[in-house]
Structure 1
Amino acid sequence: MGIQNNVTEFVLLGLLVSTEMKIMSCMLFMLCYFAIFLENFIIFITITCSHLIHQPMYYFLCHLSLMDLAYTSTIIPRLVRDLAAKRKNISFNSCMTQLFTGHFLAGVEMLILVSMAFDRYIAICKPLHYMVIVTRQRCNMLIVLAWGMAFWHSVAQMLMVLKLPFCGPNQIDHYICDVKPLLKLVCADTYVASILVIANSGMVALVTFLVLLASYIVILYNLRKRSSEVRRKALSSCGSHVMVVVLFFVPCIAIYIPPPSIHLNDKEITMFYAVITPLLNPLIYTLRNMEMKNAMQKLWNQKRSP
C-alpha cells in the first residue's frame, strides 16, 4: 500500500507576534544577518589572505565561518521574508530542501568543531609530534570526512520524513522546516520515527558534546605541568572553543533529545544555534585572539596603503 500524501505545501506559522513586533523583528533579524555575513566574511578574508591559513586551527576556523554563514542563509532570509509576507506558504519540495541543507550544514559545523578540538589536543598534549600528526593532508581529510558524514546524516533524516504520510493539516508551528514540527503533522503512528530522530540527531549531538568536553578535560589535566605562560595561552584558546561548543551543542541537545510529544520552546531554543551562535562565534574567536587581531590590522593597513 502506497504512502498517502495529500500535502503539496506547508504553512509556516513562524513567530507569532503582533504587527508592530513583526516590523521590529524583521529589522532585527536583517541586522543580525548583515552582522553575521560581515563578521564571518572578515574572518574568512583575514585568514585566507594572511599566514594564518597555514595553521590548522585557523584553517578549520575559516571553514567554520563559511558553515556559519551558509547555515544562517538557509534560515534567516526565509524568516525575514515570512515576517514581512501575508502568505507563509512553502512547497513540499522546498521544505524538504531546507530540512536537508539545515541538517547537512549543521552537521558539517559540528564535525569541524570536533576537528578543532583534535587540533588543540595534539598541540597541547603532544606538542613535539604536532607538525607530523596535524598535516594539511590530514586537515583536508577531516574536512572531507565532515562533509561526507553530515551528508549521510541529512539523507537519512530526509528519507525518513519522505516515507511518512502527510494528509493534513499542513500548518507547521515553526519558522523552519525541521523534523520535530513535521512529525506533529503525520497522520500515522510516529513512535519509531521519534526514536530515529532521537538516535540520529539527539544522541549524536549528546555523544559528540560529551566527547568534546572529555577532550578539553584531558587538555586541562595535561596543562598542570606546563609553565604559567603556556597555560595562559592554552586556556585562552581552549576557553574560546569551549564557549562555542556549549553555545552550539546545548540547544541542539535540548531540541532533539526530548521526544516530539514533549512541548518545549523549540522556536526560542532554535534561535540560539540558528542566529545567536553564528553571531557570537566570530567575536569569541577574535576578541581574545591576538594573532587574529594582528592579522586583521596588518591586512587593513595593506589595503589602506597606496
Structure 2
Amino acid sequence: MGNQTEVTEFIILGLSNDPQLQIFLFLVFLLVYLITLLSNLVIMVVIRADPHLHTPMYFFLSHLSFVDICYASTVEPKMLVHFLAEHKTISVNSCIAQMFFILQLATTEIFILSAMAYDRYTAICDPLRYMERMSKEICVQLVSGAWAIGFFHALLNTVFALKLHFCGPSQINHFSCELPPLLQLSCTESLTNQVVLLTSAVIFASSSFLLTLISYIHIISTVLRIHSAEGRRKVFSTCSSHLIVVGLFYLTGFLQYTKPSSVSSVVLDEMFSIQYSILTPMLNPIIYSLKNKEVKTAVGKMFQKFKFLK
C-alpha cells in the first residue's frame, strides 16, 4: 500500500448524471425538503403553543419532529448542491461526519418511536397509573436515553470507520455518505467494520423493535377485551399513526443495514435510503396531522390566530 495515493475526497455519483434530469430532481427534492422543514416546524410550534398538547405523547412527537428536521438537514442540502454542481465532491472527513449523524439520528428516531409505543401502552393498558409512569422526568429520561444510544451507536461505527484507508476508487455510488457504500471503497480490510455494523444494527434495531412489538401486543390484547366497537375503533385510531410511521421507517432502514451484500444493488440501496432518510421525515408530521384531531384542531387555531393578528 506504500505506492498507493491516499484519497482525500470522494465523488458522489448521486441519483443521475443526466443534466436535465438533475434539474428536475433538484426541484422535486427541494420541494420535499421545504415541506419537511415547514411541516415539522409547524408541529413543534403548535405543540409548544397549545397547552392542551402538553402531554407525554406530544412531547415525544415534538422531539420526533426535531430529529426529522436534523435528519433531513444532514442529507438533503448537500444532495441538492450536488444536483447543480459540476464537481460533486465531498472530503473524506466531511463524508465520515455525515455518516456519523445519519447513524446517530436514525438510531435516535427508532428509540423515540419505541418510547411513543410505550406511552400508548401505558395510556391504554394502565391508565390509572399513566401520569405516574409517564411523568415529565421519565419522558425526559426516555428522550435523553434515545439520544445517548444514537450517539453511542454512531460513535462505535465511526471509530472503526476512521481506521479505514481509501486509495481508490473514490466514487460513491450513492447520494449520501452512508456506511455500507463507504465500506465498499476501502482498500484495507473492512470485515471488522461489517461485523460491527451488522451486530450493532441488529442489536439496536431489534431491541427497539421488540420494545415496540411488546407494547403493541399488550395494546391489542387490551383492545380485544373492549366490548364496544366504537371503543375499539377509538383506541386503534390513536395508535394507527404511530404504526404507519414505525412500519415506514423500520422496514427500509433495517433491510438497508442488515441485508447481505450479495443482494445489494445501487437502485435498491438508493430506494431504501430515500424512503427512510428523505420521505419518512416529510411524511411523519403529515401522517400525525391527518390522523390526529387534536393536532388538526391546534393547527387550525394557530392559523386563525395569525389571520386575526393581520
TM-score, structure 2 as length reference: 0.93
Residue 73 and residue 288 in structure 1: after superposition, are their counterparts in 2 closer, same or farther (change >3 A)? same
Q: What is the CA-CA distance between 1:285 and the residue it aligns to?
A: 0.4
Q: What is the CA-CA distance between 1:80 and the residue it aligns to?
A: 0.9
Partner amino acid for 1:212? Answer: T
The question of whether the paired residues in 2 share the 8 Å contact of 1:194 and 1:260 is answered with: no
Q: Please, which runs of 5 or more residues in structure 2 have no aligned partner?
A: none
Partner of 2:251: 250
The question of whether the paired residues in 2 share the 8 Å contact of 1:69 and 1:278 is answered with: yes
Partner amino acid for 2:256? Answer: I
Question: What is the CA–CA distance in structure 2 between the aligned matches of 1:202 and 1:171, rounded to whole Å?
Answer: 28
Question: What is the CA–CA distance in structure 2 between the aligned matches of 1:189 and 1:163, rounded to whole Å?
Answer: 10
Partner of 1:148: 148
Say yes or no: does 1:289 pair with 2:299: no
Partner of 1:103: 103
Identity %, equivalent residues? 39
Partner amino acid for 2:245? Answer: V
Q: 1:300 aligns with which of 295, 300, 303?
A: 303
Q: What is the CA-CA distance between 1:53 and the residue it aligns to?
A: 4.1
For structure 1, which segment, 274-283 or 257-266, has the greater mean C-alpha deviation from structure 2 after superposition? 257-266
Q: Please, which runs of 5 or more residues in structure 1 have no aligned partner?
A: none
Partner amino acid for 2:300? Answer: Q
Partner of 1:180: 180
TM-score, structure 1 as length reference: 0.94
Secondary structure in 2 matching 1:252: helix
Q: What is the CA-CA distance between 1:289 and the residue it aligns to?
A: 0.9
1:197-231 Cα offsets, whole Å, 9 max, x none, are 11112442244224323321221111122243332
Question: What is the CA–CA distance in structure 2 between the aligned matches of 1:253 and 1:113, rounded to whole Å?
Answer: 14
The question of whether the paired residues in 1 share the 8 Å contact of 2:99 and 2:177 is answered with: yes
Partner amino acid for 1:112? Answer: I
1:78-124 Cα offsets, whole Å, 9 max, x none, are 11111111101101111111011111111211111011001000000
Partner of 1:128: 128
Secondary structure in 2 matching 1:184: helix
Q: How many residues align?
A: 305
Question: What is the CA–CA distance in structure 1 between the aligned matches of 2:262 and 2:224, rounded to whole Å?
Answer: 46
Question: What is the CA–CA distance in structure 1 between the aligned matches of 2:290 and 2:263, rounded to whole Å?
Answer: 39
Aligned residue runs from structure 1 range 1-306, under 5 A: 6-226=6-226, 227-264=228-265, 265-306=268-309
Runs of 4+ in 1 over 4 A off after TM superposition: none
Question: What is the CA–CA distance in structure 1 between the aligned matches of 2:148 and 2:222, rounded to whole Å?
Answer: 32
Question: What is the CA–CA distance in structure 1 between the aligned matches of 2:76 and 2:150, rounded to whole Å?
Answer: 21
The question of whether the paired residues in 2 share the 8 Å contact of 1:5 and 1:165 is answered with: no
Question: What is the CA–CA distance in structure 1 between the aligned matches of 2:306 and 2:152, rounded to whole Å?
Answer: 42
Secondary structure in 1 matching 2:166: coil
